[in-house]
Structure 1
């Protein structure tokens, strides 16, 4: 949903912008000194190939800047209906924006997706509950514009880890065994051809990861089709 075209250039709106990386461990006072509230966690991930550096905005205030494939970790935000958006770096005009409902104590990732002319936001709730003992958790998101539905597999395993994810579709977090060197690979659903491999990835017990398909199958530069991984917790 599109909203107003322009926003401010101050950074006062998100609980003094206290960065949070693992859990929201303390309540914060609202600006009027009322009862303590428990924050929500929100993070932005740049997954829009060819778009360039972006500013992310919350409630019409610029918060920080980031480049393609980068994420900024989580920030503490007031729960409720929040206006989120992105703009080209140092511009005061939205590329895209919309509202999202943030709930106390929960975490969200906002992925900037698609190409520059059709930039969109994909808001995903992040389940950061600890994995089972001696396990890890991983999910898969297809963020490659124009791609076919994709399967994600671990090399050496008989069955795919996730199947048939179209552009902007994502899986729940799934428990897997840790490993010092997993190789993940992507195939188009129904095909045996490996499109790309993400090799030698260490998956540690107790941690939570997102693997996402990125880029464009029609390019060969830094925006080409590939896989990347980020640690949610």
Structure 2
């Protein structure tokens, strides 16, 4: 999947950038007693159905423009208190904003969620600790406005991977066996009826992923209810 490869390349570049930033600042420290600063990693994901293209903004500076379901991996940011905002493309008016404290060496995902009239930012701290040997890790986030609580499963499995996640609720990253072609499915909690599927997903050992429920049950176009996946590392 091309989106996955792009994300992985950017993630790899980010780790190099974090390392390089630490080395550069450490070199400066030979003549300056100030300790080196380790950057944070911040990712942005457009998960607001029907909202149109959005600009993500950090401390008043535009980072990039995103269309629905799009993300570009992680960006570097200095740690500390930062104002994270989202606006319509090329607008100077925030649809939503939040003040967050970024910890050095920590990675975050900022999802813009809900519909245009009630846009919000959901900030998640991403645990990118490497999976156990011969395992991957996966988490689930329910980002479908107005949806009931949802369960995430692998097709034909006896038990769900994640259970009972209401809108904006999320699981922690959990281990999963790698597989060349999983079919993931989501059900309303307490029922056996499959609401959406995500077929032919390759899960690789050593990788970390987020699957999220998206869209609106009332729609049949590109904003219809479904599942998306993105690699975190």
Q: State the match for 1:199 in structure 2.
A: 199
Tell me how far 1:48 sits from its aligned partner.
Answer: 0.2
Tell me how far 1:20 sits from its aligned partner.
Answer: 5.4
SS at match of 1:198: strand
Give unmatched runs, 5+ long, in structure 1: 1-18
Q: State the match for 2:221 in structure 1.
A: 221
Q: State the match for 1:154 in structure 2.
A: 154
Q: State the match for 2:75 in structure 1.
A: 75
RMSD over aligned Cα, in angstroms? 1.5
- 2:177 maps to 1:177: yes
Normalised by the length of structure 1, the TM-score is 0.88
- 2:11 maps to 1:21: yes
Contact 1:20 1:41 in 2 (8 A): no
Contact 1:107 1:128 in 2 (8 A): yes
Question: What are the residue-to-residue correspondences of 1:104-123 with 2, within 5 Å?
Answer: 104-123=104-123
Question: What are the residue-to-residue correspondences of 1:107-146 with 2, within 5 Å?
Answer: 107-146=107-146
1:180 and 1:168 map into 2 onto residues whose CA distance is: 29
Contact 1:84 1:100 in 2 (8 A): yes
Q: Map Cα deviations across residues 35-82 of structure 1 (whole Å, 9 max, x no partner).
A: 420000001000000000001000111111111001121011011111
Contact 2:10 2:72 in 1 (8 A): no
Q: State the match for 2:43 in structure 1.
A: 43
SS at match of 1:21: helix
Extract structure 1 runs of 4+ deviating beyond 3 A: none
Report the structure, 1 or 2, having the larger helix content: 2
Alignment length (residue pairs): 213
Give unmatched runs, 5+ long, in structure 2: 1-8, 27-31
